[in-house]
Structure 1
Amino acid sequence: MAREWVNAVVAYLDVAATTRVDPRVAEVVLHWMTEDFGNAGSRTHEYGARAKKAVQEARMFLASTVGAKTEEVIFTSGATESNNIALLGMAPYGEKTGRKHIVTSAIEHKAVIEPLLHLQEARGFEIDFLEPGTSGRISREAVLEKVRPDTLLVSLMHVNNETGVIQPVAELAQELRQTSTFLHVDAAQGYGKVPQDLKAPIDLISISGHKVGAPKGVGALVTRRRGWNKAPLEPIMFGGGQERKLRPGTLPVALIMGLYEAAKIFQENRSRWEHDAMQTRERLLAALGKTRFQINGDADHSVPHILNVTFDGLNAEALIVRIKDQVAVATGSACTSASYTPSHVLTAMGLPEEVAANGLRFSWFPSQVADFDPEDLAETIAHMQPDAS
């Protein structure tokens, strides 16, 4: 059967959904699949010993990127599983201690919102969903005002996946560390991009590999201690003693090594990546100046590679169809892109329904859009827009 490749002319501006696996990462993954293919749990031979040692090296490096200890990192299948382990795994402690109140935001990814709704509906937890206002940024003060003596947990994303707005997780970590309330951060979009934030004393950090050039299907959960005390997590799955019994199952060594390699590459090139991503942003915005649009979210507190805009008078779905031979973009999270309802993120920001329903997300890695000409895209959009008069 002949392979059908994506049209190479189409610029890929949807890295917030997933990134291309770096060829160097793919080479590493293939090595650990076909040569050093041992099970890290096999202790009776060299194949297993080599796999175990490699996983420990990867664990040590990932811990260093967030200022954690090696034993505080457990490998998972990605941020969704990490979020579930963190949120559902903390619930028994909340039930035992009578602390069944959780503070979060209305702009979280569904991988946070849905586990929390389960806790609310099935287990009687009280969840406060904070709305950010038009900036798309939840204020530190708004979170702290909601924290009570019976607040078990605050769960706040690092970088919003639709707007790119950075949330004040580092400041919150410093404040909450002085209390008995734990902080969970979904860092799927922020890991590697704003590294200093994640070195704050955050109790639980969810990481996704496929947002930084690693394969899909691998991630991590950082479970930072408070002094000598571990985060009071209980397993939500059973079947083995792997990963401190919090994530049972055979470790996917090849994927873990892919995440390790991708994280190393990203860390080594982050400064250049940030500079080039900002230049791409400036070129795109300059070109879009010939159209009528608004930026959704606080541009002063955003990562450089995600931009959410609404074009005056244009339906986002119709626009995507029209420009599909020029760029690959999305209306929001890939997990909800099959739905044509307005973005829950933009709606929670209080934007008018027409704006929220027609937000378009551009997201890019500079190395993958070097030949992208935003002027051509802007021309197409400008011709589609109805006369302002």
Structure 2
Amino acid sequence: MWPGLRCHPAIVNQSRTFAPSGPSFPFASIPPATYFGHATRPKFPAGKSTDCPVPYFDHNATAPLHPAARAAWLDAADRLWHNPSGLHAAATRALASLEDCRERLADLLGCDDPRRIVFTSGATAANNLLARHLARTAATDAVAILSPLEHPAVHAAFGTNFSGRVVESDVDRDGVVPVDVVNATQDACAGRPVACVSVMAAGNESGVLQPWQAIAAACRLRRIPYHTDATQWLGKLPASGLGGCDWVTGSGHKFGGPRGVGFLVVPAEATFFGDVGGPQESGRLAGTENLPGIAGMVAALEARDRDASATATRGAGSRDAAIDFLRRQLPAAVVVSGGADRLWNTLAILIPGADSRKMVAALDRAGIEASTGSACSSGTASAARVVAATAGWFSFPPESTFGMVRFSAGPETTAAEWIAAVGALVAFVSSDSKAPRVALG
């Protein structure tokens, strides 16, 4: 058994502490995690104590339902369950609530015209709608310029609809797409029309922040449509200003809204239509709107956006303290995008010689829920996108392999939980003879 976290029966409330055992564990005690006033969801190996909490570090995959979202969902499902497209009074009330949600979301994003917002079943659906629309309306030889870090929902959607016409921009050593690189990529298209430039607002893997405001302005000067997938930005940093982009996609469950609901922001002047077969969304997307889900999504974003700046400051401090601890204990570890501004909640770590799945499994046994890409081999297609895109900047030995772990916290994650998570990783890697403990080269 590797030395690391063990479930301890002392954890039942805030006045009691989590006391990990094992000679290599680097700290004395950790207060239990709390989310919305109660202990994190318990999960235990067979035969282990049921008092052991599970710090949740996979918010970039999905976030727990925010109480405001739950309340809004239940209220809409109870009072406003009617079809907003109906003609009777109850349906009219549902439609009024739907439009109120649209206006509130527009205010959060800074959209002057709420009609720019099309509600969808999520960001994947929105990205596919966008790519199909652009392919249908752009010139047949038009290209789409994407960053190499885009989520598969963007890459696959554009790859399918712009087959052979997707151009990837370069990035710097931290995975940032500078504005001059975007301009140079456009210039390199040799006169071919550009249907769209798509650069995400914040990375899902390393949390790297892109200069989306500057890219939007540069594209506007060249009259080239700009899309940003804001899925990871929303709920973590202030949403204001995103409405200045031509196209924006987002998903509710990433910031505490219900699953199965998202949105697409379209240009005010665009003649956009997606799926056909009904008059919903002003004739732009057929299908009865998920009003309870929409209400929950907007309520969650309002709640998270209200304290976004303060949460970011506090969260970054906790994450950075964990990084300092990591570097002292495991100099070989590489913080992905470590030299760039990143989401306060995200920490992606490369461990030379380690196995990603084994690390995540070990963390899970230690009571830490985290995530990873597949085991990374620098510069290969199997690597996480941000690792593959930035590998050329580093002097890694040929054929070097890496394991990657991503921790992504929530607003309620404590500094002690950050140290617990990184400490559990250090404990496992220190017990793994294949993983080096000193910095490479």
SS in 1 for 2:162: helix
Alignment coverage as a number of residue pairs: 369
**Contact 1:343–1:357 (8 Å) recurs in 2:** no
Aligned to 1:336: none
SS in 2 for 1:89: helix
Equivalents in 1 of 2:437, 2:425: separation in Å? 16
CA distances 1:289-341 after superposition (whole Å, capped 9, x unpaired):
312311111443211111111124422211111111321111149xxxxxx93
SS in 1 for 2:144: strand
Aligned to 1:159: 202
Equivalents in 2 of 1:250, 1:323: separation in Å? 42
Q: How far did 1:131 drift? A: 3.3
Aligned to 1:363: 408
Aligned to 1:213: 256
Equivalents in 2 of 1:161, 1:356: separation in Å? 22
Matched, 1:377 2:424: yes
Q: TM-score, normalized by length of structure 2?
A: 0.77
CA distances 1:203-226 after superposition (whole Å, capped 9, x unpaired):
00001111111011111111132x
Matched, 1:202 2:245: yes
Change in CA separation of 1:232 and 1:155 when aligned onto 2, cut-off 3 Å: farther
Q: How far did 1:275 drift? A: 2.2
Runs of 4+ in 1 over 6 A off after TM superposition: 353-356
Gaps of 5+ in 1: 334-339
**Contact 2:59–2:408 (8 Å) recurs in 1:** yes
Matched, 1:255 2:293: yes
Aligned to 2:183: 144
Matched, 1:24 2:68: yes
**Contact 1:33–1:254 (8 Å) recurs in 2:** yes
Equivalents in 2 of 1:354, 1:367: separation in Å? 40
Q: How far did 1:200 drift? A: 6.2
Aligned to 1:266: 304
**Contact 1:291–1:311 (8 Å) recurs in 2:** no
Gaps of 5+ in 2: 1-40, 45-51, 375-380
Q: How far did 1:72 drift? A: 0.8
CA distances 1:164-223 after superposition (whole Å, capped 9, x unpaired):
001121101111112231001111101233336744631000011111110111111111
Aligned to 2:370: 329
Change in CA separation of 1:135 and 1:355 when aligned onto 2, cut-off 3 Å: farther
Equivalents in 1 of 2:79, 2:243: separation in Å? 38
Higher relative contact order (CA 8 A, sep 6+): 1
Equivalents in 2 of 1:165, 1:107: separation in Å? 10
> Which residue identity lines up with residue 356 of structure 2 in the other structure?
A
Select which of 217, 227, 231 maps to 1:174: 217
Equivalents in 2 of 1:202, 1:99: separation in Å? 24
Equivalents in 2 of 1:94, 1:36: separation in Å? 39
Aligned to 2:174: 135
Aligned to 1:349: 390
SS in 1 for 2:417: coil
> Which residue identity lines up with residue 384 of structure 1 in the other structure?
S
Point out the structure with the larger helix share.
1
CA distances 1:19-41 after superposition (whole Å, capped 9, x unpaired):
00012311221221123322211
Change in CA separation of 1:356 and 1:224 when aligned onto 2, cut-off 3 Å: farther
Aligned to 2:348: 308
**Contact 2:359–2:425 (8 Å) recurs in 1:** no
Equivalents in 2 of 1:367, 1:349: separation in Å? 31
Matched, 1:50 2:93: yes
Matched, 1:318 2:358: yes
Equivalents in 2 of 1:369, 1:210: separation in Å? 21
Aligned to 1:337: none
Select which of 249, 261, 265 maps to 1:222: 265
Equivalents in 1 of 2:401, 2:243: separation in Å? 33
Aligned to 1:297: 337
**Contact 1:342–1:356 (8 Å) recurs in 2:** no
> Which residue identity lines up with residue 308 of structure 1 in the other structure?
A
SS in 1 for 2:138: helix
**Contact 1:177–1:201 (8 Å) recurs in 2:** no
CA distances 1:259-303 after superposition (whole Å, capped 9, x unpaired):
111011011121232122112202321332312311111443211
Matched, 1:14 2:58: yes
Change in CA separation of 1:49 and 1:94 when aligned onto 2, cut-off 3 Å: same
Q: How far did 1:147 drift? A: 1.7
SS in 1 for 2:337: coil
SS in 2 for 1:372: helix
SS in 2 for 1:244: helix
Matched, 1:64 2:107: yes
Equivalents in 2 of 1:316, 1:197: separation in Å? 36
Aligned to 2:154: 112
SS in 1 for 2:307: helix
Q: How far did 1:385 drift? A: 4.6
The residue correspondences of 1:270-285 to structure 2 (distance < 5 A) are: 270-285=308-323
Change in CA separation of 1:278 and 1:354 when aligned onto 2, cut-off 3 Å: farther
**Larger displacement relative to structure 2 (304-313 or 366-375):** 366-375
**Contact 1:173–1:200 (8 Å) recurs in 2:** no
When Rg is computed on C-alpha atoms for both structures, the one with the higher figure is 2
**Contact 2:373–2:383 (8 Å) recurs in 1:** no
**Contact 1:347–1:356 (8 Å) recurs in 2:** no
> Which residue identity lines up with residue 270 of structure 2 in the other structure?
A
Change in CA separation of 1:9 and 1:104 when aligned onto 2, cut-off 3 Å: same
Q: How far did 1:160 drift? A: 0.8
Q: How far did 1:377 drift? A: 2.0
Equivalents in 2 of 1:304, 1:89: separation in Å? 34
Select which of 135, 139, 142 maps to 1:100: 142
Matched, 1:82 2:126: yes
